[in-house]
Amino acid sequence: RPRIGVLALQGDVREHLAALEESGAEAVPVRRESELATVDGLVIPGGESTTIEKLLRAFDLFEPVRERLREGLPAYGSCAGMILLADRVVGGTSDQTTLGGLDITVRRNAFGRQVDSFETDLDVAGIDGEPVHAVFIRAPWVEEVGSGAQVLAAVGEGAAAGRIVAVRQGGILATSFHPEVTGDHRVHRLFVQIVRESLDAAPGHDAEG
């Protein structure tokens, strides 16, 4: 079983841990560098991206997480987690910095005040079967996608139709929405699969073992 960490500073940590366990991973909370060192992948939950950034620094995790992402650690970011994984952010505070890794520009709180939170069904590339029921809570959207990143889903209907809300670049996956709250674990299963593939591809991996 791949060992996947959930950054446990703010947000739906318990729900992500449960969804990962039910998707075939060993899931562990990550609050310190020694815990980060043991994981094969990392989930960054939603919350408030500037608060998570401050907590990452307070827990001496900002640079270590950034370093592991640079080395190719697979990561999945939901909502604020997507913002933290984006290389560029607009619509927030000017001094906001991110971990980066995804060649995208995200717009914070993009869907506007009237529609602070909403739900819709999405077709997500790489997820078969029924559309994914997506819950958005003061969510960002992806405003620009660099050449390295792949669009997995866009909103299909309403005022926000066409807005990009799920992307992937190599081992990094991000969604504007919160799959941990719906009981549908297909996004988590996709991430567990991404982590498995990265382990299989790692140098020194023994295919028989």
- Which residues are known binding-site members for L-glutamine? 47-49, 108, 137-138
Token pair for 156: 């299909």
- Binding-site sequence positions: 47-49, 108, 137-138
Choose the stretch contacting ligand GLN; rule: CB under 6 A; options: 29-37, 47-55, 60-68, 122-130: 47-55
3-class DSSP state of 181 = helix
Which member of 16, 178, 185, 188 is catalytic?
A: 178
Q: Of 26 and 144, which has the nearer Cβ to ligand GLN?
A: 144
Nearest approach, Cβ of 68 to ligand GLN (angstroms)? 22
Taking CB under 6 A as the criterion, the residue among 5, 46, 74, 171 binding ligand GLN is: 46
How far is 32 from 183, CA to CA, in rounded Å? 28
Q: Of 49 and 105, which has the nearer Cβ to ligand GLN?
A: 49
Choose the stretch contacting ligand GLN; rule: CB under 6 A; options: 31-39, 42-50, 54-62, 200-208: 42-50
How far is 45 from 48, CA to CA, in rounded Å? 10
Active site residue 180: yes
3-class DSSP state of 84 = helix
Nearest approach, Cβ of 137 to ligand GLN (angstroms)? 4
Check binding of 108 to ligand GLN (CB under 6 A).
yes
- In contact, 105 and 86? CB cutoff 8 Å: yes
Q: Of 2 and 166, which has the nearer Cβ to ligand GLN?
A: 166
Sign of CA dihedral 12, 14, 19, 20: positive
* Of the candidates 32, 87, 89, the residue with the CA atom closest to the CA atom of residue 64: 32
Check binding of 3 to ligand GLN (CB under 6 A).
no
Check binding of 48 to ligand GLN (CB under 6 A).
yes
Nearest approach, Cβ of 47 to ligand GLN (angstroms)? 5
Taking CB under 6 A as the criterion, the residue among 44, 61, 79, 152 binding ligand GLN is: 79
Active site residue 71: no
Place of tokens 């990094």: 172
Pairing type for strands 41-44 and 75-78 reads parallel
Give strand pairing partners of 89: 106
The count of other CB atoms within 10 Å of the CB of residue 78 is: 30
CA 169-97-177 angle, to 5 degrees, is 50
Annotated catalytic residues are 79, 178, 180
